[in-house]
Amino acid sequence: MKQKLTQLVESFQKQIRENPVLENFPYWVAGFLVGGLAIFYSQLFEEAIVTARWVLSHHPSWLFLLAPVSFVLGRWLVEKYAPTAGGTGVPQVIQALSLDSPRQNLEIESILSLKVATIVILSSIVCALGAGSLGREGPMVHIGACVFYVVGKKFGKIWPVVEHRSWIMAGAAAGIAAAFNAPLAGVVFVLEELAQQHFHRFKTAVLTAAIIGGVVSQWLSGRYLFLGYPKLGVVPLSAIPWALGLGVFAGLVSVPFILMGSTKVRNWFSHYFETRIQIAAATGVAVAAIAVFLNQNSIGGGISVIQSLLFEPDFKADWTLVASRFLATSLSHLSGCAGGFLAPSLALGAAIGSWFSSMTDYSNHNLLVLVGMSAFLSAVVRAPFTAWVIVMEMTDRRSAIFPLMVASIASYGTSRFIQQRIPRRSVRM
């Protein structure tokens, strides 16, 4: 009986290998789950931000209680239930890819599980409720990898064996695609950030996952561009020198921003505070002060800030917006809650671009907003191709492709050039 059952399973697996549609079926299942989860997570996250803004508008003094309590709760959830859930999520996925399955299955499962995904969602939402300046897009990389890894294990009992790295990279691609409604960006992100040397082995899985994640996200929320269609007008070649200058400027600003996440800064906080919970409380109070006294647009991942800069003619960035986004995002990350850097980096880049446009009196304000987004994200995540592809997919402004590319490469090169000359222990975000 057992022998017949084994033969039946082997026959079934052979049929699957010979049928590409059946072979990719588990990726379809996982992609649907990630796409649906991304919409659910997005709605909860945005409601938390709306609540924080309401508190800031109607009872600003309450924020000095709400923010530290939320940050402490977000940090406590991570430390109590899933220590690998804290931070942006991308380093955890990279670590899981470096582990050898099945010899290190337990370590992989401590990084990628449904429990970890749940804590990522809860911690980041609680942080957003407390006016945290972190995004949900980075955590979706971690959540997507968790879901795909778990689905892969379940299907692995009857489906042909697939290497765990395939599931992890496919999940990361689906997470980016669903979060930004940008399937191509999901593929490019995996290729550039996670698996330069392994992509040829997993390209079908990654492409399938990114497409399914993006399609399901569109299907559930309606066909849309993440940021809409900003007006750019004609983008002449004369815009390229401006993009180059903004790229260098964004690269310069990115260096202290990245250093805020360094081991040296973390050790400084640890020296003055006895516990990590105290650090979370202190950063919560600081973030509240920034929102109340400096600029109220420091709250949240920053997508609403980008939309205002692109679609409200009277809304322009000044130094307070740039400084508040810079400080609030850095401090929110130091709190130890789950939360991403992708959307906040785009928002800070948009503010830098708008401010640069005002300082130089350049006529095409919206173009420099998009260029700033691409440039700053490129420098922070060290992925210039991912940066300009994300911005292009979110806005469908293909006419800006050359300024976006030039700025992304210039900012990346500037940031890397300076960082290589700073003696420090860096932290990859």
The domain spans of the chain are 2-221, 239-419
User: 312 burial class (0-12, 13-18, 19+ CB within 10 angstroms)?
Assistant: exposed
Provide CB contacts within 8 A for 228, sequence distance 6+: 307, 310, 311, 395
- Specify whether the CB–CB gap between 290 and 324 falls below 8 A: yes
C-alpha span between 352 and 68 (Å, rounded): 28
Residue 135's DSSP bridge partners are 340
Query: Which residue from 275, 276, 292 is spatially nearest to 66, judged by alpha carbons?
Result: 292
| Residue 211, pLDDT score | 65
Kindly compute the dihedral angle of the four CA atoms of residues 298, 299, 302, 304, in this order, to the nearest 10 degrees: -110
Q: Name residue 340's beta-bridge partners.
A: 135
pLDDT tens, per residue, the chain with 429 residues = 556 555 555 555 555 555 555 566 778 888 889 989 999 999 999 999 999 999 999 999 999 999 999 999 999 999 999 999 988 888 898 888 888 666 677 888 899 999 999 999 999 999 999 999 999 988 999 999 999 999 988 876 666 556 778 888 889 989 998 888 888 888 888 877 776 555 555 556 666 676 667 667 666 666 566 677 888 887 888 889 999 999 999 999 999 999 888 777 877 887 788 788 888 999 999 999 999 999 999 999 999 999 999 999 889 999 999 999 999 999 999 888 998 889 999 999 999 999 999 999 888 999 999 999 999 999 999 888 889 889 988 888 888 888 999 999 999 999 999 988 776 554 444
Amino acid residing at 373: M
CATH no. for 2-221? 1.10.3080.10
pLDDT computed for residue 79 by the predictor: 93
CB 145 within 8 A of CB 175: yes
Q: Are domains 2-221 and 239-419 of this chain identical in fold?
A: yes
pTM value is 0.88
- Residue 11's φ and ψ, nearest 5 degrees, are -65, -40
The CATH architecture of the domain made up of 239-419 is: Orthogonal Bundle (1.10)
Give the residue among 416, 250, 226 at the shortest CA–CA distance from 317.
250
55 alpha-carbon distance from chain centroid: 26
Closest to 138 measured CA to CA, from 96, 86, 97: 86
The confidence score (pLDDT) of residue 307 equals: 93
Say whether 230 sits in a helix, a strand or coil. Answer: coil
